[in-house]
Chain A
């Protein structure tokens, strides 16, 4: 469990980091919190020639609030985001999700950007950013570009980041008038999800749903957007019976993951349960907002 030899750089500015990535091209890999990369290095499953450490670039971390827009630096620690009053108030779904991310020691090092860029299908934060329809700011030596969260995650451990690029920031619009919910099932609290669900819902004055989002995670390479469920909810008064009905619209055929201990059948069984719970939680919160 000793990594293969590599060269190590710890730049102090984003420009410097991008220069290093440019210089070493495919041989280089960035390290953020290291909660996934360090074990992969130790197991020699990852063997980059060069490691570019982003931990000493202060500008990459922190949460900035501009009106209803939140800009989250990619190097913001999961623990810091979880403890942030701004996140709790403005992005409650992210707060709920972060409670399920790893354990206190891993959250103390792990970063939001690192988790999103790692693109583990069972990870919570990429799914939540998809649920929020967040915008990813990507930095490269030729400048910045932005992509929607939906275009960012492409598959298992696969993103749209090109060689030499770094996820710099995540831009999320806060919706104070919505309720959110999150449900996850894992073998042990904080571990990889067997399935997870994230929901956002907005109700009108009459208690009817005007907008809904539902995501299912950990069942396929990319978190699933359950737009059919969301569409079916619009215009409805989301009672428990109604929600029980609409979660049947989750497209179970696109579920892929099947392991000896966590079968595809089981994931198909629990995902609608978790979806229902996440939706119910979001409806309850949305109703509380109207009081």
Chain B
């Protein structure tokens, strides 16, 4: 049985051998290369554009600016329900009369090589009339601030007001309040984005290599923008070097590169370079929370009162306001708090547009909530874990309706025994065990963060399973794979039901040419949605095979059995025919089942093939997790060192423990980057000052602490057959809070440590350095 086995990822061998094929590995005859000329200004009006000199450069084939795009081309649409109308803030593929962030595409240069295109970019003359840059929500919403877009800089103001927050605050025995800010940072996948578009003018067919995450959705958006039929466009996902949520937006280039290929009737490739990536990938996280929390005398939390301000950047992109929406909807976390108020503002600034990044809204909300809970516990004089334990949602209260909604879906925790997992986590970690508070002059602290991570969102997913006459199984998946190991887990699920060994099963994905519909990969959904689609299709294949054999041999289905990839006669205990044999039987060419054209109605005889689409659950599956860590802090310099990191979570059911552990460990390291290092910083002119890896620091392997994942299977998700919950985002989700809490604990800090990243200097501020606390 394959489900639950620590199967080594089938993808790994080709990656380790250097045999992966990424977008930049693809070339086509007559291919040209594109370079995007991007705005050097954060905010400026564009005057005259002079292209003559650039066009005259040898090797340049075309330069497209906004005037070359079709008249009436709409801006890139937001595809997710938003709080209010955000349509005035949408971005056009190329800047029209104004640029609003450093990195905004202005022109596409197509040349024989990328180097020539970059040379040509330097020869383009543009008259910019710089405007003042707005780089913070405070500036953007100040009286008299110049509007970046006509309707003003406050794009949205909305919220929830549940229960009686004012009453709870008034009656509170204990309160704590503070502001928390989470810095702008984002996904930095090893492979930058890239596209190779190839237009076949004679047949009006467009192939695009390089899209990932949501290829069907993006294909449909592109078809609408180009006025092409959806099936006339094929998006093909090659191997992908990481996404972390940021890769599936419909970016300006997703239109521009296909457009260039159509106009030039030649293949055009664009490979984003790292410097572009910093300004072009969607940024994320950038927000502040003002939090008030209160509790009664027994330590029962009675209300959260929150103000959330999110810096959206300069345009609203395809993901709309989903990040603050998630944060606002899930802020109360795993606690049974019925009085909850949030006042959310989404504000436009002259910075790169924002979108989703692993644990969108959750990393942020968890940081603010769990930091303030430590303050509350300290004020009450009770153990920080005890405060949390007292307030956890109880198993009998499941499913728990938070009362909020995110992107128009109700926030519901489907299942879970939070107190049980909490107790086991505390025990496994040794939370209550005394520990040395000092080591070589460094202070040791212990931190905790308790959270619920939603998973498995989105409307549907589907697969088609084909068994060939050799008994080999191909799974054509509508979801995508950017490194998560889907080729392995989806094969495991099929292997379990079909009783076919893993090495005879292949998973293909991320290609609109191989399956008609696909939901894609986001929100830790593939195990749940893709996994259940594979399971359901596998059951379908089994049933189809049993039925075929029953008909052929005249044996009742009940007497047949699928084992070792063959149908067995149960009573006689002998194999009758293999799945390959059945596939051969069911091939349309088989005279026994073939219907004459005169029959008119052709019945289902498309081979041993089953397509299955499963519908989503609006609120997905909730994963409960407890993060804990011990951190050493040098009180003289503010240096920190994470000694050990621990995550306990209940994933319902593990499909592959190796992959589950890998997701958690990798996610924690990514979270440590957000906690300590990574920041997309802007200066007052709106210039990105951390635009290379010399300035934008990511955690590296040398400094990764020992990370333990303790995975439980206590509460299978009741809303899917496999009972699985998504594990892609529980890793990073609680790191900022856990680390902040551990440092505060080490230093005995009663304030500060409320701004990420926790640089050494900020760590010192929390104990009064520089007069700041």
Query: Which residues of A does B touch, CB under 8 Å?
Result: 1-5, 39, 42-44, 103, 185, 187-192, 194, 260-263, 265-266, 269-270, 273-274
Set of chain A residues within 8 Å of B703, measured between Cβ atoms = 188-189
Residue of A whose beta carbon sits closest to that of B689: A260
B122 surroundings in chain A (CB, below 8 A): 4, 44
Residues of B within 8 A of A263 (CB): 761, 770
Residue pair A5, B119 in contact (C-beta under 8 Å): yes
Contact mask for chain B residues 688-705; partner A; CB cutoff 8 A; 1 contact, 0 none: 010010100101101100
Q: Does B759 contact A (CB under 8 A)?
A: yes
Give every chain B residue within 8 A of A185 (Cβ-Cβ). 637, 639, 760
A262 and B637 in contact, given A1-B274, A103-B700, A188-B703 (Cβ under 8 angstroms): no
Asked if residues B119 and A4 are in contact (CB atoms below 8 Å), the reply is yes
- Since A189-B700, A262-B759 are in contact, a sample of 8 more A-B pairs with Cβ atoms closer than 8 Å, ordered by chain A residue number, is A2-B118, A4-B119, A39-B694, A103-B700, A187-B759, A188-B699, A188-B703, A265-B770
User: Given that A188-B703, A190-B702, A260-B681 are known contacts, is A273 also in contact with B694, CB under 8 Å in the complex?
Assistant: no
Are A188 and B677 in contact, CB atoms less than 8 angstroms apart? yes
B188 smallest CB distance to A (angstroms) = 14
**Contact call A273/B274, Cβ cutoff below 8 A:** no
Let me know if B8 is at the binding interface, CB within 8 A.
no
Asked if B275 contacts A1 (CB within 8 A), the reply is yes
Q: How far is the CA of A103 from the CA of B694 in the complex (A)?
A: 12
Contacts of B761 in A (CB 8 A): 261-263, 266
Contact with A along B744-773 (1 / 0, CB 8 A): 000000000000000111001000011000
A39–B699 CB distance below 8 A = no
Closest 10 CB pairs of A and B: A2-B115, A1-B273, A266-B761, A2-B118, A188-B697, A273-B636, A270-B637, A265-B770, A187-B697, A1-B275
| B114 contacts A by Cβ under 8 Å | yes
* B636/A194 in contact, CB under 8 A: no
Of the listed residues B275, B697, B700, B761, the one surrounded by the most CB atoms of chain A closer than 10 A to its CB is: B761
Interface residues as binary, B651-693 with A (CB distance below 8 Å gives 1, 0 otherwise): 0000000000000000000000000010101000000010010
- CB of B699 within 8 A of CB of A43, answer no
Cα distance A273–B637 when bound, in Å? 8
Please name all residues of chain B whose beta carbon is closer than 8 Å to the beta carbon of A44 when the two chains form the complex. 118, 122
Give the chain B neighbours of A2 by CB distance below 8 A: 114-115, 118
> Is B697 a contact of A269 with CB atoms below 8 Å?
no
What CA separation (Å) do A274 and B119 show in the bound complex?
Answer: 46
Determine if A187 and B702 form an interchain contact, defined as CB atoms under 8 angstroms apart.
no
Cα distance A2–B273 when bound, in Å?
9
Q: For residue A261, which residue of chain B has the nearest CB?
A: B759
Bound complex: CA of A132 vs CA of B639, how far in Å? Answer: 28
Are A269 and B759 closer than 8 Å at their CB atoms? no
How far does the alpha carbon of A151 sit from the alpha carbon of B43 in the complex, in Å?
45
Q: Is the interface of B mostly helix, strand, loop or mixed?
A: helix
In the complex formed, the residue of B with least CB distance to A273 is B636
Separation of A42 and B697 alpha carbons in the complex (Å): 19
Proximity string of chain B (147-161) to chain A, C-beta cutoff 8 Å, 1 when within and 0 when not: 000000000000000
- Judge whether B692 and A39 touch: CB under 8 Å: yes
Interchain residue pairs with CB less than 8 A apart (16): A1-B118, A1-B276, A4-B122, A43-B692, A185-B639, A188-B699, A188-B703, A189-B703, A191-B694, A194-B760, A261-B679, A263-B761, A266-B760, A269-B764, A273-B636, A274-B637
For residue B688, give the distance in angstroms from its CB to the closest CB of chain A.
Answer: 13
* Measured CA separation A4–B760 after assembly (Å): 39
Task: State A147–B700 Cα separation when bound (angstroms).
Answer: 39
- Give Cα distance in the complex from A192 to B639, angstroms: 15
- State in angstroms the CA–CA spacing of A103 and B119 once bound together: 32
The 8 Å CB contact of A191, one of B114, B637, B697, B770, is B697
Q: B681 — which chain A residues lie within 8 A by C-beta?
A: 260-261
In the complex, which residues of chain A have a beta carbon less than 8 angstroms from the beta carbon of B274? Answer: 1
Nearest opposing residue in chain A for B690, CB measure: A261
Binary contact track B116-127/A, C-beta < 8 Å → 1, others 0: 001100100000
Nearest CB in chain B to that of A188: its residue: B697
CA distance A273 to B699 in the complex (A): 25
Q: Which chain A residues lie closer than 8 Å to B699 at the CB level? A: 188
A266 to B639 CA separation, bound complex (whole angstroms)? 12
A266–B764 touching, CB < 8 Å: yes
Question: Which of A2, A5, A43 is most buried by chain B, counting CB atoms within 10 A of its CB?
Answer: A2
Question: What is the CA–CA distance of A5 and B118 in the complex, to the nearest angstrom?
Answer: 10
Whole-angstrom CA separation of A43 from B695 in the bound complex: 14
The smallest C-beta distance from B699 to any residue of chain A, in angstroms, reads 7
Chain B: which residue is nearest A192 at the CB level? Answer: B694
Contacts of A191 in B (CB 8 A): 694, 697
Q: How far is the CA of A35 from the CA of B234 in the complex (A)?
A: 41
Q: How far is the CA of A274 from the CA of B115 in the complex (A)?
A: 45
Within the complex, the shortest CB–CB distance from B539 to chain A, in Å, comes to: 49
The residue in chain B whose Cβ has the minimal distance to the Cβ of A2 is B115
By a CB distance below 8 angstroms, the chain A residues around B760 are 185, 187, 194, 266, 270
Chain A hits for B692, CB < 8 A: 39, 43
Contact B275–A43 (Cβ < 8 Å):
yes
In the bound complex, residues from chain A placing their C-beta under 8 Å from that of B114 are 2
Q: Which of A44, A185, A191, A261 has the most CB of B within 10 A?
A: A261
Chain A residues with CB under 8 Å of B115's CB are 2-3, 5
B554 to chain A, nearest CB (A): 68
State the Cβ distance, B378 to closest chain A Cβ, in Å.
27
A185–B689 alpha-carbon span in the complex (Å) = 21
Beta-carbon contact of A189 and B769 below 8 Å: no
- Among the listed B273, B694, B770, which residue makes an inter-chain contact with A266, where contact means beta carbons less than 8 Å apart? B770
Shortest distance from the beta carbon of B194 to any chain A beta carbon, whole Å: 13
Residue of A5, A43, A265, A266 with most partner-chain B CB within 10 A:
A266
Q: How far is the CA of A81 from the CA of B734 in the complex (A)?
A: 42
In the bound complex, residues from chain B placing their C-beta under 8 Å from that of A190 are 702
List chain B residues, Cβ under 8 A from A39.
692, 694
Give the chain A neighbours of B770 by CB distance below 8 A. 263, 265-266, 269
| Nearest residue, chain B, Cβ from A265 | B770
Residues in chain B near residue A4, CB distance under 8 A? 119, 122
Given the complex, which residues of B lie within 8 Å of A3, measured CB to CB? 115
CB <8 Å contact, B764 and A187 = no
Set of chain B residues within 8 Å of A261, measured between Cβ atoms: 679, 681, 759, 761
Q: How far is the CA of A263 from the CA of B770 in the complex (A)?
A: 10
The listed residue (A5, A188, A274) touching B700 by CB distance below 8 A is A188
Q: A262-B761, A273-B636, A273-B637 are in contact. Are A189 and B275 (CB under 8 A)?
A: no
With A39-B694, A263-B770 given, is the CB distance from A187 to B118 under 8 Å? no
A233 to chain B, nearest CB (A): 21
**Chain B residues positioned under 8 Å from A262 (CB to CB):** 759, 761
- Report B-chain residues with C-beta under 8 Å of the C-beta of A265: 770
Query: Inside 8 A of B679's CB, which chain A residues have their CB?
Result: 261
